[in-house]
Amino acid sequence: MSLLPDRVAATARATVAPVARRLHALGVTANAVTVVGFLVTVAGATLLASGQPGLAFVLLAIGTLGDTIDGQLARAAGGGTRFGAFLDSTLDRLSDAALAIAAVHLGATAPHVVLYWSGLLLLVASFLVSYIRAKAESLNAGASMGLAPRESRIVLYLGGVGVWALSGIFDVFVATVVVLGLLATVTVAQRIAYLAINLSAKKG
């Protein structure tokens, strides 16, 4: 069970679908939106790393919106390409890394030991969450369950940045990264346990 209910994600996708159809009519491609969204996210992460949560939040929100629109845009175009799926997945991983690295950088420069190590934990666990799912799919087994899949982590991260920007309380962001690192780790454990049970059952 995810922290972000499936219906919330479905509602978000349905909301941006008209925008995606309009962009498709204008000749904008899903791959273009994927790349632009990634670049905007990296810019937001860079601002965050420099201690500017307000501007960072705006750019990260735009980058997240682009990450939602590109899938709908691909559907509006009649379905995405294999390269498009590869590009989207690869840049998603790099976007996740940018967010975690921003936290690590802040932890190193503050200095704030808890933020630094929590950022590293989030970096590693986030990659493992995605890797386990991809490896499971290559074995014809699904592994998309868990408390904190990517969508949930992004929403929580944005929430932490937004509260920091509005309140000026840095420790709110620190607490967010700590929680995200722990939730991502729990999700890794959940997916490993699920696959251990299901793949062993199939072998037997």
Are the C-beta atoms of residues 191 and 136 closer than 8 Å to each other?
Answer: yes
Q: Half-sphere exposure of residue 199, counting CA atoms within 13 Å on the CB side? A: 16
- Report pTM: 0.91
Q: What is the pLDDT of residues 3-34, one digit of tens each?
A: 767 677 677 777 777 888 888 888 888 899 99
**149 Cβ contact list (under 8 Å, min separation 6):** 2, 4, 129, 187
Q: What is the pLDDT of residues 86-107, one digit of tens each?
A: 999 999 999 999 999 999 999 9
Give dist(CA 62, CA 129) in Å, integer.
24
Are the C-beta atoms of residues 103 and 119 closer than 8 Å to each other?
Answer: yes
Residue 58 parent element (H or E): helix 53-76
Q: Active-site positions?
A: 92
Domains identified in the chain and CATH numbers: 6-203 (1.20.120.1760)
Terminal Cα-to-Cα distance of the chain (whole angstroms): 27
**35 Cβ contact list (under 8 Å, min separation 6):** 87, 91
Among 73-77, 83-87, 151-155, the range scoring the smallest mean pLDDT is 73-77
Q: Is the pLDDT of residue 123 over 90?
A: yes
Q: What is the pLDDT of residue 203?
A: 58
141 phi, psi to nearest 5 deg: -130, 135
Beta carbons within 10 angstroms of residue 89's beta carbon: 12
Give dist(CA 117, CA 170) in Å, integer.
16
